[in-house]
C-alpha cells in the first residue's frame, strides 16, 4: 500500500491485494475520502460494503473509496409516505418488480442529469455492479407503466443490510414508489436500514437521517452477518395496499 496525492490531499493508494485502511481513518475534508485504487472486483466491493465503504468517482478519476461521517440512513420503518404519494401508489397503475431489469435500471441511473452531461456511474462501475447482480449481491427495483420502465433503483444487499446506490424517475413519483415498495419489502424480510451514504434534502424529506459513523459500523457489522434473502428477489404483490402514511 502506497500513499498518493489526490486533489491536494494524501490518501493510501491500494494495490490489487491491499486491504482497506480502517473506515475511521477517512479524511474529514473532503468528508469520508479513505483511499484510491485497488480496482472494482466483486470481492473488493463486497468487502468494502461490509466495512461501511463505497466507491464514488468520475470517469476521469482513479477509483476513490469513501466512508463519510455522519452517515445518512433510512430506517425501513421510518419511510415518510405523504398523502399525495399514497394516492400515487394506489391509483397510478404503476407495476413494481424486483430483479427483472437490473442492467436497464443501472443504465437509466447513469444517464446524464446535469448540464455538463457528466455521470459518476461509469462503464466500469456499471459492469462491476452487473457482476455483483449475477452473484446475488446487487438488486434492482423497477417501476413500470404498461410495458415501459419509468423509474427504479438499485443497490447492494449483504445479509439483512441494503446499501442504496442510485435511483431514477421518468414519470412523477416513480422513484419514490420504488423506494417505498423496497422499504416495505425489506421490513417484511427483517432488514432494518437502507444506507443512503450522504444526506440530501430529498432523502431527508422521505425520512432519512444521519447517524455517527461509529453507530453505522456497529449496525452493519450485526446486520451483514444475518442470513441473506435468496436471489433473485420477488416483491409481494400487495405492497402498495399495505403502505401506511407515517
Strands of 7-147, DSSP E? 9-14, 33-37, 54-55, 64-66, 71-75, 95-98, 138-145
pLDDT tens for each residue of 25-74: 999 999 999 999 999 999 999 999 999 999 999 888 899 999 999 999 99
pLDDT tens for each residue of 98-148: 999 999 999 999 997 654 444 689 999 999 999 999 999 999 999 999 999
The sheet carrying 138-145 orders its strands as 95-98, 138-145, 148-158, 161-169, 193-197, 71-75, 209-211
- What number does CATH give the domain 72-242? 3.40.630.70
CA triplet 88, 196, 150: central angle to 5 degrees? 35
Ranges of each domain in the chain: 2-68, 72-242
CATH class for the domain made up of 2-68: alpha beta
- Asked whether the domain spanning 72-242 has the same topology as the one spanning 2-68, the reply is no
* Whether pLDDT at 188 is above 50: yes
3-state helix, strand, coil in the chain (%, to 5): 30, 30, 40
pTM of the model: 0.92
> Which is nearest to 108 in space by CA: 126, 92, 95, 90?
126
Q: What is the mean pLDDT of residues 146-156?
A: 97
Amino acid at each position: 500500500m502506497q500513499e498518493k496525492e489526490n486533489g491536494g490531499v494524501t490518501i493510501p493508494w491500494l494495490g490489487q491485494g491491499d486491504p482497506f485502511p480502517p473506515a475511521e481513518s477517512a479524511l474529514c475534508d473532503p468528508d469520508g475520502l479513505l483511499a484510491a485504487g485497488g480496482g472494482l472486483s466483486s470481492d473488493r466491493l463486497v468487502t468494502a460494503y461490509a466495512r461501511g465503504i463505497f466507491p464514488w468517482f468520475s470517469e476521469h478519476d482513479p477509483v476513490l473509496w469513501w466512508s463519510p461521517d455522519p452517515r445518512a440512513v433510512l430506517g425501513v420503518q421510518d419511510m415518510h409516505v405523504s398523502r399525495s404519494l399514497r394516492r400515487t401508489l394506489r391509483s397510478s397503475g404503476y407495476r413494481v418488480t424486483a430483479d427483472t431489469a437490473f442492467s436497464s435500471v443501472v443504465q437509466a441511473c447513469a444517464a446524464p442529469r446535469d448540464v455538463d452531461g457528466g455521470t459518476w456511474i461509469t462503464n466500469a462501475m456499471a459492469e462491476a455492479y452487473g457482476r455483483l447482480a449475477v452473484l446475488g449481491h446487487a438488486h434492482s427495483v423497477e417501476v413500470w407503466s404498461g410495458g415501459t420502465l419509468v423509474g427504479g433503483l438499485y443497490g447492494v444487499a449483504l445479509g439483512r443490510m441494503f446499501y442504496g446506490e442510485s435511483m431514477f424517475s421518468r414519470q412523477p413519483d416513480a422513484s419514490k414508489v420504488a423506494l417505498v415498495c423496497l422499504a416495505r419489502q425489506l421490513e417484511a424480510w427483517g432488514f432494518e436500514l437502507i444506507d443512503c451514504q450522504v444526506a440530501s434534502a430529498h432523502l431527508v424529506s422521505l425520512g432519512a437521517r444521519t447517524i455517527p459513523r461509529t453507530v453505522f459500523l456497529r449496525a452493519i457489522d450485526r446486520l451483514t452477518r444475518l442470513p441473506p434473502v435468496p436471489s433473485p428477489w420477488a416483491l409481494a404483490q400487495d405492497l402498495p395496499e399495505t403502505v401506511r402514511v407515517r
